[in-house]
Structures are given as C-alpha cells and as structure tokens.
A and B are shown apart, each in its own frame.
Chain A
Amino acid sequence: MNFPMHRGIRPAARLIPSVRFSSTAVTETGVAVSVVEPPPPPTTTLHDAAKIKPAFNRKVHRIHTSKHMLQDEFLNAGDLTDSARLYDYKRTGEIAASLTNIVERIAFVSPYERPWTAAERTWRRDWHPALVAPRKAWALPAVPAHFDVLNFYKYITKTHVEQGKLDELYKDLHLPTRTFKELTRASLRANLESTAFDSEADRTSALLATLLDDAVLSLVKARPQLAEQRISYKSKSEAFWVRGGFSFLYDHQEFNEVEVTQKIWNNQKYTGDDRRKLGELAFVHRDELAASVRSVKGLEPMMRESESTDVFWKLDEGKLKDELYSPRVANREMCSRVEAESHQHTVLAVKSLAGLPERITEHWRMRGEEAKETALECATAQAVATAFANLTATAHTQGFTQYNDVDAPLTTQLVLSDGRNFYFAVAQLNTLAINVELKDFPNPRHNSLRIEGPFPLYDEVNDGRFVYERKEFGLALLEYYSELGRDVDEAPMRDASSTVSMMKWPLQSLRNLLLTFPILLVAIVFWNEYLVYYVKIGLTCRWPEGAEEDPFRVFMVSDTHLLGRFRGHWVDKLKREWQMHRSYQTARQLLQPEVAFFLGDLFDEGQWSNNFLLAEYADRFEDLFSCESTKMVVLPGNHDLGFHYASA
C-alpha cells in the first residue's frame, strides 16, 4: 500500500507497540545529542496488520445507504467493523517507525498541510484533483477564552483531572526556605515598584521569573544539581496533537425522523478534521511560559497507574457540541520542539494567567463565589492545556508519536499564577494515542493531572483586587506578607525535588489550620454518636401531661432484629446495635420507666439458630437492653422461634 508523501493525501493512522527509540549519546565533538536507534523489526504489527487487512479498495467509511434492493451490498466481516481504519492506523504506525530521523518522523505524523502554491492554483485543470483547502488546526488560546472550557480541554487531551493536595507526592523533603523568603519579599517589592512594564501581563511574567530565580538561587547550595537544569525565560512551547471521537459532528437527523445517521457524503468537512471526515480533529497550542526548567533526566512518575484509570470524564456529545467554540484556526506550520538537545524534559513550567481576572470580572461580569469557581476552573483548564502541550512536545522530541505511543509516563510540574493567586499542578502523560476511537483499538490509558490551589501570595485589599499602581496598598500588603512569612519561619517546608513547591510557603498557615482537624473529628464523632441522643430525646420526648400523681410508666419496644452471624456486614451490625443501645439507654435514663416490654422479633436470625447461638444472641440482647432499675418483659416473635417453618 503506497502512501504518497505530498500534501493532503497522508493517511491518518495509529499505533504500533511502543518501543523507546531515542537515547542520548555523546558525539566525537563532545556534544550530547539524541540519536535514534533503529526500530526492532515490526513482526508483531505486520502480523496484526495482515490479520485485519481489508479489501484493497475498501474505504474508511461505509457505502451510503441503499435506496433500493439492487443497491444493497453485503459487506464482509472486516468492513462491518472498523478494520479499514485500524489497518490504516497500524500501517501508518509502521511507516512512522521506519523513519529513523525524528524530525522526519514528526513531520510525517503532523497534520500540517501546506497551502497550495500560486503555480498549483494557476495551472490546475479540471482533470486534476480538486484543490481542497489545507487542513487547519484548532489553536488553543494562551488563556482560556471561555469560562466553561474545562470539560472540553479534558476531552481533547484525554486527561483525568483531580483537585487534591500535592503534599503526598513530595514526602520527606525538607528544604531551607528562609533565604527564599527574604529574596522573595525583596523581589515582590521591586516588582510592584518597577515602572518598566507596559502591561500587567509583563509584570506578572517578570514576577514569576524572579520568583523562580530566587527559589533556584536559595536552593542551589543545598541542591547542586539545580545548576545542571536549563532555565528559560519567556520561552515558547508548541505542540500539535490529534483527537479522535468527533465523528458525531457528522450526525444528521432528518425532519420527523427518529434515526440519526452520519452524513459523510455531500457534507462539508468539519474544520480541523482529516479530509476523509474521520472525526479526528487537529489541535495546536502555542504557549508562552513565563519560565521553564528543563533537565536531561525526566521526573519519575508521580501518580500511580491505579489512580489514573478509574474515573474519566465521559464524552457528552450533546454538550460537547455546545462547547465546541469557534476556534482561532492556525494554518502555520504546526511544529514541535524536535531539536536533538540534551535537556529534553520540562521539569517545571511556570505559566502566567495574566488577563484572566480581568476577563472574569469585567468581561464575564462575575462576582463572589462564581468568580472564584470560574477562576479555578479556567486555571485548571489552562493547566491541562499547558501540561499536555509541554509533555507532547517532550514526547515528540524523543520520537514518540500518536502512532508510536510513549512507553513510559512523562511527568511535569506546573506553577500557574495571575500575579496574586498561585496554582500548583503535577501532570503525567500516559498516552499519546488518542487520535482514533475504535472498538477494535481499546486504549484504556489516559493522562492525569492533579492541581492544588488557589493560594494567594498576599492578602486581599478592600475592593477584592490588588491595584499595583497604588503603592501604599502594595506596601501595606507587604507588611502582612512579612507577618505571614514570619509565622512559618520555624516550620520546615516539604518540597519537591525541583522548585515547584518552594513557592508554596505562604500556605503554611493553612496547614496549621488543618492541624486542628483531628480534634475536630473527635468532637464531631462524640457529638453525633453520644450527645445527640440526650439532646434529641431530652428535648422532644416526655410523658403525657395531666397524668396521675404516681403514674405507671411503660416502654413498648418491638422488632429489634439484632443481626446474627449469617447476615449483614459487621459494620452494619455495629452501627445498628450501638444506635439501638444508645437510644434505648438514653431514653431509659431520662424517662425512668418501671417496665419495658419487648414485643417479639428480638433477633433477625433466630429461626436458624441452635441452643448455643440462641444463648449467644440472648446474652448480647441482655448486654444491650438490660438494666437493674427497669424490669424487662420479653416476648418471642416469629423471627426468634423458627419463623413460619416451625410448623412444617
């Protein structure tokens, strides 16, 4: 099968079992470069491809619905499934794997198509192929342009997002923070006073870069390996990817028809899709990071596989259609950083969210809780995009593509900030093979991201927004900021192997608050499991008014149904018995009855018990309900005496 390499006719395709192709070597000149090892012979994949190979002239889509019986076609088994697409995918993967030059390989799998030249447009004739418009890609903006894009971003990157603490990922790390705090205070003050910035975005970027400087400068003595990292400021980060599963965009429902069919023929290709209308959209994210730290060796996977395979955001097609906003379409070459450099792994990306607060408050006109939730959601969405783009670029640099999936997770850390609120995230790329959604190609893996925040760097002012131009506000806040720093001076901070959580020290007061959590927990349990019975019964239960002077007080209790050995979980048993015991004894103490009648069905499993078990149940019953001051009269019920089988 021949795949011409010229524009537009490149097959979109799929996976080959992953093999790590690249490694780092040192050339004769001493320059560390990435070299590509020849891929192993793809015997397995060829075998697979042979098995699923469809008829040579089969197309990816089925023939249109027949209008009459003469047009009926009886497809073979291969065509009834997605085998044509799967074969295409695997064959493309083989070709990609055979390209030993990484730059060539990435260019091969890139969805970029060059525009037609003037000569091609001029000299095309009717017998030439039609000049279909080149494929475009959906470009994600630098900061989310809409307030509810999180689900969309999660879907197009196949990322599972969780909000949670990152501390457990950074256990046993105790790094000095005193110097960092000193430097940060001075840097923040200098940043607020500086008149060098044309916009708040520039100011935020400069602040983030300076904070990273301070963190590295204060840590480099304790961690000399930080000097080996590559630090970039205002660095660009670009990546493309293709996401499948959008074939529903071609769904068509005739008026008054129930059935929904796919309208492929005579229907316009959706923007960003393959020219065969496969429902596989191309995306590109051109990000500018305030700073980034890259290293030769990547981070160890931080999130376990089991954590990232349980829940995933399900594709809600109806909703997604609403969420597919008109994109800023990119037609420029969708390049990825594929230079064979030694520092391939982005260990830390610092991203500025400048402009987002203004967008929320002024453009979307949100206030209060709604504004906070939206800010968190947009920051999370941006974290997803930034992390995925960075990790995809790293994977491309190492030769992995959507057809040759990564063989080990790639991990990165993120710090996002709008200049005041900080978000910290850890992301893990587990799969790149997200460009096809086929039944015969199950890919349970998905990417993960855990985010924590927001953590304000300084306190709020009265109007809820910090105004940099007002110097006195800035200084007042710095005083508060200094106080905050002093409180946590003595507490060593747990930190990451890199600098990510070096910037988390303002959060220590929150951690101190959380230390009260165990005490709070004990108090809650004591209240709910003990005191509440006295309060409830004491306030709401009393003997009838107007009784005689020496009334005879009786409790009537029935159907206690104490669980036995066979049915019920022990937790259930414990809970029920404690509640019955506590409520009965509390009522007895407060209301002082002379006699308590138990009207049968004391046990739940009395019908299945022998003498020994019955004695055991009776002892427990006595433990729970007996008391010297109240006489007990106990009657058996059908559940205690063999149910209805006793007569049989």
Chain B
Amino acid sequence: MVFRKYKPVSQWGKQDTRIFKAILNARNARKMPVFRVPDAVKALGVKVHDPTLPGFFDSEFVQRTEKDHRDFSQSDVTAHPLYSDTPCRLFEGSEPMSDGVDQACVISKAVLRTEFPDEIMKNALEEIDEEKVRDAILHGERYDPTLEKLPRRFDPVLFWVKHPRVHGTPVVKRGNIILDNLFRHIIFSAIGKEKLKPTQIKFNRDEPFSTTVHSAPYFLQSPLVIRGQPHLTALSVTHTTPWASKEDVELTRDESIASIAPLSPLIDFGSDHIYNKESVVARPSENLSLHSIAWTREQSQKYPWTSEQNAANAVLYTFGAAMSEAMKRGEKSLAESPVVSRGIQLVNGRLDLVAVQVNTLDLSQKEEKKNIVWLHKGVRLYMTKPYFEQMTEVEELNMDAVTKLSALLLS
C-alpha cells in the first residue's frame, strides 16, 4: 500500500466535476420568463429599444449615443477658451536655461549688475534679531505639524535601494513658511520704524500671473508667455522709485549684452496654443503697482539645477512680473519712471535676490536703451538638510542674506 503522509481533508474528483457540470447545465437550460416592460416605465413614456432585434447597433439611437456622449467624444484643444492659433514661446519654470543668467539677460535685453546700488543698501534694516530669523526658519523646517507623504527618495549612488517613504512637510511648503515669516518680520520692523505705512503694501498668496510679450527680435511671430504662481505677491500703493537714474539708463546704450552664441536663446522654451493674450495680475481692479514676488523652488533629486540655472529662473520670472507692470503703464510712462520689480527665490536654503528695472518695452536691436537686472545669486541663508531628515537647529545662518533681503524689499 502506498504510504500517504498527508491525508486530504475531503475528496475531490471527477464526480464533483460531473455534478457541478450537471448543475450548470440545468441552470442554463432553465427557462427565464419573457421580459416585459414594467408598467411604471410605460407610464413614463420612455421609448424602449430591444437590443435583441437585428440591426440594433446600426440604429440611429446607438449612432447618436456614440456621437453625443462625452465618453465617446474626442477632446478638442481648439475648443478651449484660451486657445490661439499662434503658438507661444512658453516659460513656466519647468525647464532650466541652458546658458544660465546670460541667456535670461538676452531674453530680457538686460545688462547685469551683480551688486545692489549703495543707495538701496542704505534702506536695509540694521538691527535684525537673529533669534527671530532662526525661529522663522525652524518654523518651516521643524515646527510645522504637516504630515504629508513626501516623494520617493532617490539615492544617486545606491540607486537600487528602496528607501522607506517618510511623512512630513513638503519642501515647497517649508520654504513658503520661511518666506512668509521673513517678509512679515521685515515689514513689521519697517512699520515699527515708520519706514512703511500699513496700507502701503498689500499681499496676495498663491496668486497666478501671466505676461505676454510681443517684441522683436525673438517674439514677433510667437509671443513670449511667462506664467507662474508665486507664493507671495506684494503690491504697492505707490510706484516704486527707479533704482537706476536716467543718466545710468542712458549709459546702458553703450553696454553690450552677454552673448550666448552659438546657442539660440529660445531652445529652452516650450510651446503652447493655450495662453492668456492679456496680462494676468493680482488685484487688477485696484490702482496698485507690482512690488515683488517671492516663491520657493524644489530641486529635482535626479536632475538638480545649477545655481546659474536657478538664478536665470529667478531673473526670467521677475522680468515677467516687471513686464506685466510696465505694459500696464505703457511705453511713454516708462521714459519718465521705469518700472522696478523684485523677485526672491528660495532654493535649498539659498536666496536668489533679483531686481529688474524695465526701461523699455522694445526688446529689438533698434532701441539701444536696455533694461537692467541686479542679481545676488544663490546667497546662502541657512544650511538645509535633506527633506527626509529632521532639522533641529539652524546651521550656518547668514544674516547678510536677511540684510540684503530687507534692502530689496524696503527700497
């Protein structure tokens, strides 16, 4: 006898299969009552189609359903209210500028200054409480109780390791909290020292803006569209004073813009048919001028941008904001009082501080007057930790960055 170590709990064999097949056949052979349309449906007066009739799927009813129903319809881009036949050159901060700040200067027809003017630096707040700045940073990095699922960690060396997912405050939100706190601290200090009136400046959060530029030499056929959603948009009741005097602006005629040849300045722009043809700004119905924008950018884990590319991003965004304000005022007004807008970008604990003065809306070679960009690139504010680690203390805090920020905001 065959020794069987394990005895099955119950018998299973062909008899069971035979029984089950018989049950299934009996069930299939069972006659179902003929379907009749219920009286309630008849009372509604609904037309009932019999799908068992030949030619049902060729009937007009089915054809119409397939034509009209949204599940069968193809999405039509041209139906979009913002659709335009002419594609635009689109910049929305998703692609880095290959040649960095120089490329941004070429686009914006601007000469570059790497230091803020002395008159501007005189506006800086002298006594800034370092503890408050530390606290402002820790508020975003440590104290914020948000527990969202953070992105998957990518280790460029041990790329095959699957790291556990951690929860916490997203990097962009951390940066936005820090920007909020720094802005508030500087504005409150200025109000306390009567450098600023409470009604002079107004804030909007996460307000989108879009600027459309039609100008030679690059954007005559396809307009340049710069759009984004900075976390903070500060608007001023009064026009801000130009940073460069008329004489300094005239001197720019003799300066040359950096060359990025053989690269085309347009290689990093996207293309889209859906865009705003007019500028979109915050609080359009109020007579306000755009003062500054501030936002946070998160570095990609696999393809981090260089500091040049980050700075170019800040310059182009600020240029877009300044152009929207300048186009609102018009070319004639610019000759008297050029537009100045400021941009603050926080990336990985570093600040890109930008001020753009738009002296002319004409970006072609005919007009020799140029715009001016002041840029402090990648100023270290504090040393960050990777997003998956908890910061407990602020390390390498640079108060000079806060001083420059205050000068930028209060100028």
> Which residues of A approach B to under 8 Å, CB–CB?
29-31, 179, 182-183, 186-187, 189-190, 193-196, 206, 209-210, 213, 217-218, 220-221, 224, 226-227, 230-233, 235-238, 335, 337, 339, 341-343
Is the CB–CB distance between A221 and B191 below 8 Å? yes
Q: Nearest chain B CB to A434's CB is how many angstroms away?
A: 23
A-B contact sample (15 more), CB < 8 A, given A233-B205, A335-B147: A31-B138, A179-B199, A186-B202, A190-B282, A195-B208, A210-B203, A217-B187, A218-B198, A224-B192, A226-B188, A232-B139, A232-B144, A232-B177, A235-B145, A339-B143
Q: Quick one: which of B178-229 are within 8 Å of A by CB?
A: 180, 184-185, 187-189, 191-192, 198-199, 202-208, 229
Is the CB–CB distance between B285 and A182 below 8 Å? no
> Which residues of B approach A to under 8 Å, CB–CB?
131, 134-135, 138-139, 142-147, 177, 180, 184-185, 187-189, 191-192, 198-199, 202-208, 229, 280, 282-286, 393
Pairs across A and B, CB under 8 Å, 6 listed: A194-B207, A196-B208, A217-B198, A226-B188, A236-B146, A238-B145
Given A194-B282, A237-B145, A337-B145: A220 in contact with B139 (beta carbons within 8 A): no
B184 contact set on A, CB distance < 8 A: 227, 231
B145 contact set on A, CB distance < 8 A: 235-238, 337, 339
A210 contact set on B, CB distance < 8 A: 203-205
Q: Nearest chain B CB to A285's CB is how many angstroms away?
A: 13
Q: Among the listed B185, B198, B284, B393, which residue makes an inter-chain contact with A179, where contact means beta carbons less than 8 Å apart?
A: B198
A209 to B138, CA, bound (A): 21
Q: Nearest chain A CB to B137's CB is how many angstroms away?
A: 11
Q: Nearest chain B CB to A344's CB is how many angstroms away?
A: 10
A337 contact set on B, CB distance < 8 A: 145
Q: Among the listed B202, B207, B284, which residue makes an inter-chain contact with A196, where contact means beta carbons less than 8 Å apart?
A: B207
Is the CB–CB distance between A193 and B188 below 8 Å? no
A227 contact set on B, CB distance < 8 A: 184-185, 188-189, 192
Q: Nearest chain A CB to B291's CB is how many angstroms away?
A: 14
A179 to B202, CA, bound (A): 12
Q: Nearest chain B CB to A197's CB is how many angstroms away?
A: 9
A29 to B135, CA, bound (A): 13
A238 contact set on B, CB distance < 8 A: 145, 147
Q: Nearest chain B CB to A239's CB is how many angstroms away?
A: 10
Q: Among the listed A209, A220, A231, A236, which residue makes an inter-chain contact with B191, where contact means beta carbons less than 8 Å apart?
A: A220
B207 contact set on A, CB distance < 8 A: 194, 196
Is the CB–CB distance between B138 and A189 below 8 Å? no
Is the CB–CB distance between B142 and A341 below 8 Å? yes
Q: Among the listed B189, B191, B199, B229, which residue makes an inter-chain contact with A183, where contact means beta carbons less than 8 Å apart?
A: B199
Is the CB–CB distance between A193 and B284 below 8 Å? yes
Q: Nearest chain B CB to A333's CB is how many angstroms away?
A: 9
A301 to B146, CA, bound (A): 29
Nearest A residue (CB) for B188: A227
A237 contact set on B, CB distance < 8 A: 145
Nearest A residue (CB) for B139: A230
B205 contact set on A, CB distance < 8 A: 206, 209-210, 233
A30 contact set on B, CB distance < 8 A: 131, 134
Q: Nearest chain A CB to B164's CB is how many angstroms away?
A: 14
Q: Among the listed A206, A220, A335, A343, which residue makes an inter-chain contact with B198, where contact means beta carbons less than 8 Å apart?
A: A220
Contacts between the two chains (Cβ within 8 Å), count: 93
Do most interface residues of chain B lie in helix, strand or loop, or is the interface mixed?
A: mixed
Is the CB–CB distance between A193 and B199 below 8 Å? no
Is the CB–CB distance between B192 and A236 below 8 Å? no
Q: Nearest chain A CB to B342's CB is how many angstroms away?
A: 19
Q: Among the listed A194, A195, A217, A235, which residue makes an inter-chain contact with B144, where contact means beta carbons less than 8 Å apart?
A: A235
Is the CB–CB distance between B142 and A339 below 8 Å? yes
A335 to B147, CA, bound (A): 10
Is the CB–CB distance between A190 and B188 below 8 Å? no
Is the CB–CB distance between A196 and B134 below 8 Å? no
A194 to B207, CA, bound (A): 8
Is the CB–CB distance between A213 and B142 below 8 Å? no
Is the CB–CB distance between B180 and A233 below 8 Å? yes
B229 contact set on A, CB distance < 8 A: 196
Nearest B residue (CB) for A229: B184
Q: Nearest chain B CB to A175's CB is how many angstroms away?
A: 13
A308 to B32, CA, bound (A): 70
Given A29-B393, A221-B192, A224-B192: A186 in contact with B131 (beta carbons within 8 A): no
Q: Nearest chain A CB to B127's CB is how many angstroms away?
A: 14
Is the CB–CB distance between A31 and B198 below 8 Å? no
Is the CB–CB distance between B143 and A221 below 8 Å? no
Q: Nearest chain B CB to A191's CB is how many angstroms away?
A: 9
The 3 closest A-B pairs by CB, nearest first: A227-B188, A341-B143, A337-B145
Q: Nearest chain B CB to A101's CB is how many angstroms away?
A: 14
Q: Among the listed A31, A193, A335, A342, which residue makes an inter-chain contact with B393, where contact means beta carbons less than 8 Å apart?
A: A31
A236 contact set on B, CB distance < 8 A: 144-147
A238 to B286, CA, bound (A): 39
Nearest B residue (CB) for A220: B188
B135 contact set on A, CB distance < 8 A: 230, 342
B131 contact set on A, CB distance < 8 A: 30
Q: Nearest chain A CB to B13's CB is how many angstroms away?
A: 31
A129 to B142, CA, bound (A): 40
A237 to B206, CA, bound (A): 22
Is the CB–CB distance between A31 and B134 below 8 Å? yes
A343 contact set on B, CB distance < 8 A: 143
A235 to B173, CA, bound (A): 10
A238 to B187, CA, bound (A): 31
Is the CB–CB distance between A189 and B286 below 8 Å? yes
Q: Nearest chain B CB to A216's CB is how many angstroms away?
A: 8
A235 contact set on B, CB distance < 8 A: 144-146
A193 contact set on B, CB distance < 8 A: 283-285
A29 contact set on B, CB distance < 8 A: 393
Given A179-B198, A236-B147: A189 in contact with B142 (beta carbons within 8 A): no
Q: Nearest chain B CB to A491's CB is how many angstroms away?
A: 21
Q: Nearest chain A CB to B311's CB is how many angstroms away?
A: 27
A602 to B283, CA, bound (A): 82
A182 to B206, CA, bound (A): 22
Given A196-B206, A209-B205, A220-B192: A186 in contact with B286 (beta carbons within 8 A): yes
A189 to B142, CA, bound (A): 35
A213 contact set on B, CB distance < 8 A: 203
A218 to B135, CA, bound (A): 23
B206 contact set on A, CB distance < 8 A: 196, 206
Is the CB–CB distance between B147 and A190 below 8 Å? no
B192 contact set on A, CB distance < 8 A: 220-221, 224, 227
A233 to B232, CA, bound (A): 13
A186 to B146, CA, bound (A): 31
Q: Among the listed A182, A195, A226, A232, which residue makes an inter-chain contact with B199, where contact means beta carbons less than 8 Å apart?
A: A182
B191 contact set on A, CB distance < 8 A: 217, 220-221
A179 to B196, CA, bound (A): 14
Q: Nearest chain A CB to B312's CB is how many angstroms away?
A: 26
Nearest B residue (CB) for A393: B145
A233 contact set on B, CB distance < 8 A: 180, 205
A190 to B284, CA, bound (A): 8
Is the CB–CB distance between B142 and A190 below 8 Å? no
Q: Nearest chain B CB to A153's CB is how many angstroms away?
A: 22
A226 contact set on B, CB distance < 8 A: 188
Q: Among the listed A190, A206, A230, which residue makes an inter-chain contact with B286, where contact means beta carbons less than 8 Å apart?
A: A190
Q: Nearest chain A CB to B403's CB is how many angstroms away?
A: 18
A369 to B361, CA, bound (A): 59
Nearest A residue (CB) for B187: A217
A335 contact set on B, CB distance < 8 A: 147
Nearest B residue (CB) for A33: B392
Q: Nearest chain A CB to B230's CB is how many angstroms away?
A: 11
A557 to B131, CA, bound (A): 87
A189 contact set on B, CB distance < 8 A: 283, 285-286
A494 to B198, CA, bound (A): 21
A80 to B307, CA, bound (A): 75
B180 contact set on A, CB distance < 8 A: 231, 233
A236 to B208, CA, bound (A): 24
A195 contact set on B, CB distance < 8 A: 208, 280
Nearest B residue (CB) for A31: B393
Is the CB–CB distance between A190 and B204 below 8 Å? yes
